[in-house]
Amino acid sequence: MWKAVPKIRIMDTTLRDGMHAMAHQFTPEQMARVAAALDEAGVDVIEVSHGDGLAGYSFQYGFAAATDEEYLRAVAPVLKRAKLAALVLPGIGTCKDMQMAVKAGVKVFRIATHVTEADISEEHMGLAKEMGAEVVGFLMMSHTVDKEKIAEQARLMESYGADVVYVVDSAGAMTPQEVKEKVSYVRSCLKIPVGFHAHNNLGLAIGNTLAAVEAGATVVDGTLRGLGAGAGNAPTEVLVAALKKVGCEVGVDLYKIMDAATVLEPMMRRPQVIDNASIMLGYAGVYSSFLLHTYRAAEKFGLDPRDILMELGRRKIVGGQEDYIIDVAYEMAQNKQVVAG
């Protein structure tokens, strides 16, 4: 089935994207235990930060149980083989935060922007390279644009020094066919490796990641037990089994990564399942942070929140446009009255 056995690099983001499902309340000691188990299993990169990246710790994004520095300093000493990574969202994380992170042991920066805004990552990527770190570019909400747009933005990140660029399915809205089409095109436009980050809203986190690998992605993300916002991510331990099953070399021990999931499990606040709200977010292609605003708007205007999500998806609104939800709901309520009258 495979021309050669592809080597796939696994980056685990339990201790970053999983923070959303923990209301950012992992303790540094818990992080160190999970990280040690991931390291022992052979995971290549372990991402540790507030769910919204360095400096996410705030009134707006949610207070965490510790600062990024405390988390990083707790995890760095337990890693024997894995590289420590931190997420940076330009606009939230600053150059100062990145300097702190390098001092605390970070070797990899994952720098994320909306899929049409790669240009805001230039300064952060430059600094990361300057400090000798590996740079991973993250193009979020890649389902909202066509493959040419993703490739254009990926090339920008490549030009800023990125060592890898990820196609990121932030809303769990992509289908395997779409993943293959987008990843293989981006792959053909870049000299650097392409990565894929999945969410499980439509039950496709593993299926889409395999599709990405089939299309040439060589770096993929997971979180233990799928820990993450809403429907969560590709469960790292399941991903390892699935990748081995299709003949990939992953450098991770299956028994030990399942053991790592066992270390995490008692820390979880709830089992990671696909609820109806997650399905709607994936189906509509809307970012999970819009959910609460949507419920409020639905109640205010007597609308079905599912209809609002569908309309937001059609209009392709992006993070930061939360206020716009009220406008959309108001407009929908007006139209409804006209139709009813």
Catalytic machinery residues: 20
In the complex with a second copy, the residue whose CB is nearer, 170 or 208, is: 208
Residue 287, marked binder: yes
Question: Under 8 Å CB-to-CB from 102, ≥6 apart: which residues?
Answer: 131, 132, 133
CB 202, min distance to a second copy, A: 5
Rounded distance, CA 118 to CA 13, Å?
21
CB 276, min distance to a second copy, A: 4
In the complex with a second copy, the residue whose CB is nearer, 2 or 99, is: 2
CB 312, min distance to a second copy, A: 16
Residue 155, marked binder: no
DSSP state, residue 239:
H
φ/ψ of residue 329, rounded to 5: -65, -40
Find out whether 14 and 39 touch, Cβ atoms under 8 Å. Answer: no
**Interface residues with a second copy (CB under 8 A)?**
1, 173, 175-177, 202-208, 210-211, 214, 225-226, 234-235, 237-239, 241-242, 244-246, 254-255, 258, 261-262, 270-274, 276, 279-280, 282-283, 304, 306
Amino acid type, 213: V
Residue 114, marked binder: no
Find out whether 285 and 257 touch, Cβ atoms under 8 Å. Answer: no
In the complex with a second copy, the residue whose CB is nearer, 175 or 218, is: 175
CB 320, min distance to a second copy, A: 26
In the complex with a second copy, the residue whose CB is nearer, 117 or 214, is: 214
Rounded distance, CA 339 to CA 198, Å?
39
CB 258, min distance to a second copy, A: 4
Rounded distance, CA 14 to CA 28, Å?
13
Amino acid type, 330: Y
Residue 199, marked binder: yes
Q: What is the largest CA-CA distance in the chain?
A: 69
In the complex with a second copy, the residue whose CB is nearer, 136 or 329, is: 329
Residue 73, marked binder: no
Residue 169, marked binder: no
Contacts of the segment 234-240: beta carbons below 8 A, 24+ positions apart: 234/198, 234/200, 234/205, 234/206, 234/209, 235/205, 235/206, 235/261, 235/272, 236/10, 236/12, 236/14, 236/38, 236/43, 236/260, 236/261, 237/261, 238/206, 239/10, 239/206, 239/209, 240/10
What residues form the annotated binding site for substrate? 16-17, 170, 197, 287
List residues forming the annotated binding site.
16-17, 170, 197, 199, 287
Mark the binding-site residues for Mn(2+), compressed into ranges. Answer: 17, 197, 199
